[in-house]
Structure 1
Amino acid sequence: MSTTVATTAKPRLKTSAMIASFADPGQKTAPAPFGHALVKAAQENDKIVGLTADLGKYTDMHIFAQAYPERFFQMGMAEQLLFGAAAGMAQTGLIPFASTYSVFAARRAYDFLCLDAAEPNLNVNIVGGLPGLTTGYGPSHQATEDMAIFRGMPNLTIVDPCDSVDIEQAVPQLAASEGPTYLRLLRGNVPTVLDEYGYTFELGKAKVLRDGADVVLVSSGLMTMRALQAAKDLAVHNVDVAVVHTPTIKPFDAETVLTEINTDRLIVTLENHTVIGGLFETVAAEVVKAGLGKRIVPIALPDEFLHAGALPTLHERYGLSLDRIINTVLSELEV
């Protein structure tokens, strides 16, 4: 006699490989927040111009191009030319926002950005799409080390936004700031998360989104969304979690972050970036300089070239998924 056990098939995780969304099903989102924010900023400042390297649709720059065709410049597949031209425009007093994929900005055009924009400290705003692990197209398009590359560039401000709120509020502040900036763009239908926490973006400032007695999660980018989700789910395990959002990676708000981690709580950093040269090492360096002697647990991408595939599968594989975050925190608390 044989017995058949009925099982419920788990739905297969699927996304488009190139333009993949990290929004959860049914989650509140905003369409193309960067493009709409740039149009709004341009309405108030006629010096703002937009440029792209054949990627207007895929960096939400097409919204600006439709609104201000006379202030939009399509540079073709030539990233060095893109940023060299943007620097020239900035030299004349214009405020350029130049978009491409993060890998092409960081790897292909670094020298032009460094010498044409950063050295003369011009207001050139670099808008990088597909930062970290936000595409399934593999190492050619996964900008897993972009912050590590750019952190060493003098004068450059680096912003890693969590959601549509961050992006919408960051754009006018980047336009008004001195010197070059790099925005790790989240494009398409971007989750809206921070509106529930009384949050406002301030360039150069970290914000404590929630308090907690047991764990401090220090996060940036889309990982702040995951940190907030993990904090709610960990409450079921009687774990009280604080979340500190650090949207500006450089200059870094060490004062706010160190105040929060100088306690007996477990400290975990979360970032959509390689463990080398990003948020974890930024926080660790500030801890060492302050002489705090704290242990920090990193949740980050490994120091390796990643596989291609469906985005949810890759996030699970490389430790960025909600389940992996929760398991990491619980395992650390058991030590």
Structure 2
Amino acid sequence: MTAQRSVWGETLARLSVTDERVIVLDGDLATSTKADTVAKQNPKAFVQVGIAEQNLVGMAFGLATIGYRPWLSTFGVFLTNRALDQIRMLVSQTKVPVRLCAAYSGLLNGSSGKTHQDIEDLAIMRAMPNMTVLAPADEHEARAVTEWAAGFDGPVYIRYARDAVAPVFDADYEFELGAVHTLRRGGDVTLVSTGVQASRVLEAAELLAAAGVDAQVVHLPTLKPLEDARVLAALEGAPIVVSVEEHTEIGGLGGLLAEMFARHDVSTPLRVLGLADAWSESAPNDFLLDKYGLSPERVAERVRALL
């Protein structure tokens, strides 16, 4: 297993050699986000901006207007909170091709605590007009998403996780915007997830199978733009749909499914599993995942309780 941040750094270093428009702007976190891979392999494609996230976005906007394809390297929480006004005014409203790379997303930087954990980023960025919002499931999808975003002519927010998870895709996986992936078939309940939580949900489905519950698992790497027809087709016939996300229950994956169900008058019961409306805390990653009901064991327990 390889961490998404490592795959991102390696892929971007390779892309920067073949495309001189690629430039990485870092917010003094390159050794954590692995943007230092670019700095080491192709120094001319790397700019250290320092702890100045608003300037990070402003510089990226300026570079985009003269033909560069900027990639921003920092923790997700600093993009979606400290630099939100600049993202709104300079990136979203102008539609420039800036890639907002949100490292250390969700709970998987447990020792940093609630100040550095971004559990509301999807709700914030999904509400941003013109913004494409992506959350890859594993190392292979992280590589494919990075390659795809390099050629996309518009603003992109990508949620990358700090720690490695069990892969759900093969090494030859290719990303397609709006694609819906059924990772496991089952007729008792359909579990929908996004980002690295999809790997844990797949493990939870195996635990449910051992308990006699046949769960289908669906992964949505694209949270915006959402292709309703594809999602509805994947969920067709499900007796109950349960969304599971490493994010607040408000405004994320569960919210977008509820909105879609309302748009199309879908009567299938929908339940949302995520973090409750409260701040997270500082603790080891596995402890936090278990406490907030997102470990495979706890997801299986919560689904069984719902059924």
Partner of 2:225: 251
Change in CA separation of 1:263 and 1:220 when aligned onto 2, cut-off 3 Å: same
Check the 8 A contact 1:118/1:155 in 2, yes or no: yes
Instruction: Give SS of 1:29's match.
Output: coil
Deviation at 1:220, TM superposition (A): 0.2
Partner of 2:145: 170
Partner of 1:323: 297
Question: Which portions of structure 1, spanning 4 or more consecutive aligned residues, are displaced by more than 4 angstroms?
Answer: 196-199
Change in CA separation of 1:122 and 1:290 when aligned onto 2, cut-off 3 Å: same
Unaligned runs of 5+ in 1: 1-27
Q: Quote the Cα distance in structure 2 between the aligned partners of 1:58 and 1:108.
A: 19
Check the 8 A contact 2:140/2:171 in 1, yes or no: no
Instruction: Give SS of 1:194's match.
Output: coil
Q: Quote the Cα distance in structure 1 between the aligned partners of 2:192 and 2:85.
A: 31
Deviation track 1:269-310 (CA, whole Å, cap 9, x = no partner) reads 011110011000001100110001222111111111112111
Partner of 2:242: 268
Map 1:1-335 to 2 at 5 A.
28-29=1-2, 32-136=6-110, 137-187=112-162, 190-195=164-169, 199-333=173-307
Check the 8 A contact 1:148/1:276 in 2, yes or no: yes
Q: Quote the Cα distance in structure 1 between the aligned partners of 2:183 and 2:15.
A: 27
Partner of 1:18: none
State TM-score, norm by structure 2: 0.95
Q: Quote the Cα distance in structure 1 between the aligned partners of 2:274 and 2:232.
A: 20
Deviation at 1:204, TM superposition (A): 2.5
Change in CA separation of 1:211 and 1:154 when aligned onto 2, cut-off 3 Å: same
Deviation at 1:196, TM superposition (A): 5.0
Identity of aligned pairs, percent?
34
Q: Quote the Cα distance in structure 1 between the aligned partners of 2:279 and 2:249.
A: 12
Instruction: Give SS of 1:77's match.
Output: coil
Q: CA RMSD in A?
A: 1.6
Q: Which range moves more in the overlay, 64-73 or 198-207? A: 198-207
State TM-score, norm by structure 1: 0.87
Check the 8 A contact 2:141/2:169 in 1, yes or no: no
